[in-house]
Structure 1
């Protein structure tokens, strides 16, 4: 009887195929990122950028992500406030709860929530839209007419995602910090002056710059991943659905890795304030 391969056990050939697919996808995303970035700069400089498409996509992204972002930011602020406030009370450091809540939300919470909304709500919409255009051969039709799909479809979405990500990051930070302030001060754990004073003592302008930089990078990565998956979709509606799933999962993984790298670089390069 011939030997059979156990079901589910990856073979060497299968691993090689997946590795090759991963390298190909990575190269395609890097190439698309370079082309889209160049298209944004050149089209704006040459006054041929599609501002109407940019405004339409920006408004669409705001509509699909603003309310979910606020609804996620509120419980996020509650969780951080309750956990930090409880530990601060146990060790007798309730006066520092404002600094811990505010800086934690500003450096980590706001960019992460923003990235999840951009990758989940906005990214999936970009992938499904471009994927549907691809399988209907609309993208091929643009190429036949001499129109670059990157300039016409990807560049406006990329710039819109960057702007919306920067704005959503501010919304998340204000909502989460305000929620923490209301819980700590409203619950009588600490006075408003002490809460704000500790936050001001430890916070730095570079914290806000870090948060905005993270939001911009996360928006850029999520848009490029979503656009690449959408433009490479094949196999009909099922292929579009698979592309949406792949783009969301891959975006989450990349955003988590980039977040760790940026945080570690910031801690090592920027001196931290001592009250």
Structure 2
């Protein structure tokens, strides 16, 4: 009995061990290769972008076209997300400050929350979900139709013609989206506090002006530039390396959204911690 049952169990265990070993060795290696490829492409695209701008060879027509396209696919979702974010921040912060008896500081708490974290997080979601997916789908469809190979055969550099203007457009649109979220989010928290939480306009604006400074907005805009750059690099890389027909494009778009979201959230935490360490908040 034991001699007939042991070989199948051993073979199944050996197969599971081999699969786990192969998975462990294959996926980290592929992740490192993808990360290295994205870094290489990002450095090359940034150098190409600035070099073309200084030499007067930057494709501004493609840049403007991509700016309009990215704004069209992200403006409405950003507005739809920014308003609920402002309401949620007002409700949660309002209940907290009411418990500690600090309702007079409602403007500072909600306004700074929107500028410092709300706007960058909403921007990262829109850049990763709307802009990044659109870039990846566009380049992925070009790749599987062999348009990229045809461009290389004709002597047209895809890095200059396609990637560099998309990087510049993504950074510009990301900054504009962040400023848009700051305005809409702050206006939402202000109106919600006045009309739904019985706050006073003077107290809201006064406490916000007492604690906020220009660096808060500059850091949020700096984060948005980094978000746009990283999301465009990831989307362009995965789009240009799409394989397997339309299904491969769909997989590349899914991977671009997931990788961009994880990367942007991590960068947001890193930049916030570095800024908080170098420029600690001063007690008034």
Kindly indicate whether residue 21 of structure 2 is the aligned counterpart of residue 21 of structure 1: no
Kindly indicate whether residue 125 of structure 2 is the aligned counterpart of residue 116 of structure 1: yes
Kindly indicate whether residue 201 of structure 2 is the aligned counterpart of residue 192 of structure 1: yes
Kindly indicate whether residue 234 of structure 2 is the aligned counterpart of residue 225 of structure 1: yes
User: Cα–Cα, structure 1 residues 91 and 34, in superposed 2: closer, same or farther, change >3 Å?
Assistant: same
**TM-score, with length taken from structure 1:** 0.97
Higher-Rg member (1/2)? 2
Partner of 2:254: 245
CA shift for structure 1 position 190: 2.3
Contact 2:124 2:265 in 1 (8 A): no
CA shift for structure 1 position 89: 1.1
Kindly indicate whether residue 170 of structure 2 is the aligned counterpart of residue 165 of structure 1: no
Distance across 2 between alignment mates of 1:193 and 1:228: 50
**1:254 aligned residue (235, 248, 263):** 263
Correspondences of 1:1-275 after superposition (within 5 Å): 1-2=7-8, 3-5=11-13, 11-275=20-284
Distance across 2 between alignment mates of 1:214 and 1:204: 16
Distance across 2 between alignment mates of 1:167 and 1:159: 13
CA shift for structure 1 position 8: 11
SS of 1:240's partner is: helix
SS of 1:4's partner is: helix
CA shift for structure 1 position 271: 3.0
SS of 1:49's partner is: coil
CA shift for structure 1 position 91: 1.2
Tell me, which stretches of 5 or more residues in structure 2 are unaligned?
A: 1-6
**TM-score, with length taken from structure 2:** 0.94
Number of residue pairs matched?
275
CA shift for structure 1 position 187: 2.7
Structure 1 segments of 4 or more deviating over 6 A? 6-9
Tell me, which stretches of 5 or more residues in structure 1 are unaligned?
A: none
Contact 1:203 1:273 in 2 (8 A): no
CA shift for structure 1 position 147: 1.2
- RMSD over equivalenced CA pairs, Å: 1.4
Distance across 2 between alignment mates of 1:255 and 1:184: 30
User: Cα–Cα, structure 1 residues 126 and 8, in superposed 2: closer, same or farther, change >3 Å?
Assistant: farther
